[in-house]
Amino acid sequence: MSADVTTGPADVTTAADLTATAEATGDAVAAVARPGEPGYDAATAVFNLAAPPRPAAAVVARTVEDVRAAIRLADAEGLSLRVHTTGHSAPAARPMRDALLIRTEMDGGVEVDPIRRVARIPAGTRWGVVAKAAAPYGLAVAHGSSPTVGVVGYLLGGGLSFYGRKVGLAANSVRAVELVTADGELRRVSLGSDPDLFWALRGGGGGFGVVTAIEVKLFPAVQVVTGTTCWPAAHAPELLRTWRRWTLDAPPEATTSVRVLNLPKIPDVPPMLSAGPILCVDGAVLAETGDDVAAARRYAEELLGPLRAVAEPVLDTWQLTEPVDLLDTHMDPSDPVAVIGDHMLLGDLGDEGIDALLRVVGEGSGSPLISAGLRQLGGAYAKPHPQGGALDHLDAPYAYSGGGVPGLTGTAEAITRHIATVREALAPWDTGWTTPTFVESHAQPQRHLTDGRIAAADLIRHRVDPAGRFRDDIMPGATKPG
């Protein structure tokens, strides 16, 4: 057992303890709603409005008994079971016509143990809440770029954070998972309790049950250098080449992204950002301790100095600040929005790949994508974790993602056509692999597990759900067909 495995009181908690607590504190079971009934809209609400689900029935589960009751009802009515929280990746989900959808909004708050550097997080909690709970102790977690993303789906789908090149995939930080399986049993799963299921839960593609809480390892973070710097897209060729050269041997403390943005002229967008396409570089450099601050400043300057020398930015917000401020860096929307997008993991682009990308998303391309760009991988992202799950690393230097908003940047048809154009342009560098939390469409090509890992995950799914009640909750490409 490696030194980073959490030990202490949480590791000796048993499933029986959890069940006793759930039964002692359970309130009245939440009402299941059908289309048109009160509560249906709240249970089926999603952040990505491009693909609103329309299940046969839906419920907001706040207690373990709510979850159990929903499973019993689905079994009685012959409905499959589906699970979501925020619906940021709603278009990636399979259709739900004959399903009961469980929206997890479990009671209770985030519990932080600063001595053991562990947080227990109820399902339904958003990353903004977790980051703020850990901050008073000088700790951070490998959260996503948006404070409104739900914790569970992000973590069990791998999870790419702006700390990732230092700490790896967020799934590797999971120390225990509490879930209700198809038989109604509440289980606490960890390396010491059902290690096979624990392996499969972390990146295996879902379909194992309803997660009610999750424990994650925290790490020291006293400050970060973070921000966004933007230039007119006319300078994008030189800027993108300069950024790529820096990524080749960048320090692991730094994780960044580069995007071409076509922002609409609306009140919430500053005029300098909506005057035409812009190229933005954002991200973070982690300082775990006070002794690391000077190095973090230096690493940021090694990135930004050459970029600023190319042209004067129209926006430049990089600064030394508190880790919770990282939640605002990526400028993700705070309100639900319809996004049609695409994603792939790319090999090293070189100048030829950069030219290919900018031809289809840069200045003069006519791109209707509101955002299209690259997330820097490598570092700890590329290193298999000795105690990781089914997905524990990404063997690619860059993650591409891009998308448009119908009505703001073009029609849905125009956005869909251009997504195909970009995919064709980047085909020479497409690795054929994806990471689940970046997948934007159920129909897009996707693969994050080898055949051997898919077969292993399927065996574990069959053990905990032999009737296949959660079969439609499995990510496309993560289970053997048939």
Block mean pLDDT (10 aa), the chain, length 482: 32 41 52 95 94 96 97 97 93 92 97 98 97 97 95 97 98 98 98 97 98 98 98 97 97 98 84 88 98 98 98 97 95 90 97 97 96 98 97 98 94 97 98 96 93 98 97 94 78
117: left (phi over 0), alpha (psi -120 to 50) or beta: left
Task: List Cα–Cα distances, 260 to 257, 263, 357, 394, in angstroms.
Answer: 10, 10, 10, 24
Give residue 356's pLDDT: 98
Give residue 28's pLDDT: 66
CATH class of 106-220: alpha beta
Residues forming CATH 3.30.43.10 domain(s) in the chain:
32-104
Q: At 439, phi and psi to the nearest 5?
A: -65, 130
pTM of the model: 0.92
Burial 117-151 (b: 16+ CB within 10 A, else e): bbbbbbbbbbbbbbbebbbebbbbbbbbbbbbbbb
Beta-strand ranges (E) seen in 264-329 are 278-287, 315-316, 319-321
CATH number of 32-104: 3.30.43.10
Give residue 409's pLDDT: 85
Residues forming CATH 3.30.465.10 domain(s) in the chain:
106-220
